[in-house]
Amino acid sequence: MSGALLGQLAALGAAACWTFTSLLFTFAGHRVGSQVVNLARLLLALVILALAHRTFAGEWLPLWAGPERWGWLALSGLIGLALGDAALFQALLFIGPRLSTLLMALAPIIATLAARIFLGERLALLDLLAVFLTVGGVAWVVAERQPSAAAPAGGRAGRPRFALGVALGVAAATGQALGLITSRLGMAGDFPVLSATVIRMLAAAAAVWLAALMMGRAGRPLRVMRREPRAALLIATATLLGPVAGASLSLVAIQNAPIGIASTLMALTPVLILPFGWCLFKERVSLRSVAGTVVALAGVALIFLA
């Protein structure tokens, strides 16, 4: 199997993991709130990854990695997993999931441009066509208006909130894209994926929990988890799929495939989640959603054939 194909398959695997993760975190969030979910998932992911690193690499943390690697990978965790996710969670509150997801579809385009600027990566014309076809299909699906996803944009008081939500959505997409770029820089020379994931998660968890401590909210997740064992199980399962497996696969993807291609494939989560929304939440699947999915999958096929 070629390196590029491995990277593309890993990117698809990451998108699949994040699809199931988003469903499980949604169920858990309804029970305990998004802030508790965010704090718990990062801490649990760090514990799981450190245990895995101790098992397979013989030490809890990759202390042997040089300061430059630690710097790039820690910056990646801060930008992509801490600040980017925080911006996304707030955007979801301000403008709703549909528009927030649409803005996140900008991430592959931002990543492609950033990879060209910072890494000198240039995609062939056919690859660029596949990227825009896939992103366009995803955007077409998530841009469809649905009554249940209305954002609080009406009225004079709603305009600043809506504008801030859009800015946060763009910031989240930018954070995800730049997180991939800094990860690539930190993993130069075939640095082990598990070690890189541990460093990224450590930086993200430290930042989020430090902020929670400063705001006096660090004890709440532990109290809530003891009262809600079902939510704790949902969060644990979602953490294994998302911050552990999904994050690791995303690093395998960018290590072996161009960042523009990898980030495009990883942006397929809104399309992959459609059948689950129909089965679990009785959401309407329109002809437009089907057409957008077909366009996105055509772009994916072109990526693998290019």
Share of the chain above pLDDT 70, in %: 92
Banded model confidence at residue 193, pLDDT cuts 50, 70, 90: very high
Q: What pLDDT sits at residue 221?
A: 85
Top mean-pLDDT range of 43-47, 287-291, 295-299: 43-47
Q: What pLDDT sits at residue 102?
A: 76
Q: What pLDDT sits at residue 190?
A: 84
Banded model confidence at residue 155, pLDDT cuts 50, 70, 90: very low
For residue 158, is pLDDT > 50? yes
Under a CB-based contact definition with an 8 Å cutoff, are residues 77 and 203 in contact? yes
pLDDT in tens, 198-226: 999 999 999 999 999 998 888 888 888 88
CA separation (Å) from 51 to 57, 59, 60, 92, 112?
10, 9, 7, 33, 34
Q: Which of 15-29, 81-95, 156-170, 237-251 has the lowest mean pLDDT?
A: 156-170
Under a CB-based contact definition with an 8 Å cutoff, are residues 193 and 252 in contact? yes
Q: How far apart are CA 258 and CA 87, in angstroms?
A: 26
Dihedral sign for Cα 127, 132, 133, 138, please. Answer: positive
Cα dihedral 84, 27, 39, 207 in deg (nearest 10): 0
Under a CB-based contact definition with an 8 Å cutoff, are residues 150 and 99 in contact? no
**3 alpha-carbon distance from chain centroid:** 22
Mean pLDDT of 78-105: 83
Share of the chain above pLDDT 90, in %: 46
* 3-state class percentages of the chain: helix first, strand second, coil last, to nearest 5: 80, 0, 20
Q: How far apart are CA 26 and CA 34, in angstroms?
A: 8
The phi and psi torsions of 282 (rounded to 5 degrees) equal 55, 35
Q: What pLDDT sits at residue 98?
A: 67
Higher per-residue pLDDT: 190 or 17: 17
For residue 274, is pLDDT > 80? no
**166 alpha-carbon distance from chain centroid:** 18
- When the pLDDT of each residue in the chain is averaged and rounded to a whole number, the result is 86
Tokens of 257: 């495939």
Q: What pLDDT sits at residue 174?
A: 95
Banded model confidence at residue 149, pLDDT cuts 50, 70, 90: very low
For residue 145, is pLDDT > 70? no
pLDDT in tens, 217-255: 888 888 888 888 898 999 999 999 999 999 999 999 999
Q: What pLDDT sits at residue 153?
A: 44
Neighbour-count burial for 255-287, b at 16+ CB within 10 Å, e otherwise: bbbbbbbbbbbbbbbbbbbbeeeeeeeebeeee
- Nearest-CA neighbor of 86 among 222, 211, 198? 211
**112 alpha-carbon distance from chain centroid:** 16
Contacts of 204 (CB under 8 A, 6+ apart): 42, 77, 78, 80, 81, 82, 85
Tokens of 160: 């600043």
- DSSP 8-state secondary structure symbol assigned to residue 185: H
Q: Which of 22-36, 133-147, 238-252, 254-268 has the lowest mean pLDDT?
A: 133-147
Higher per-residue pLDDT: 93 or 233: 233
Q: What pLDDT sits at residue 88?
A: 85
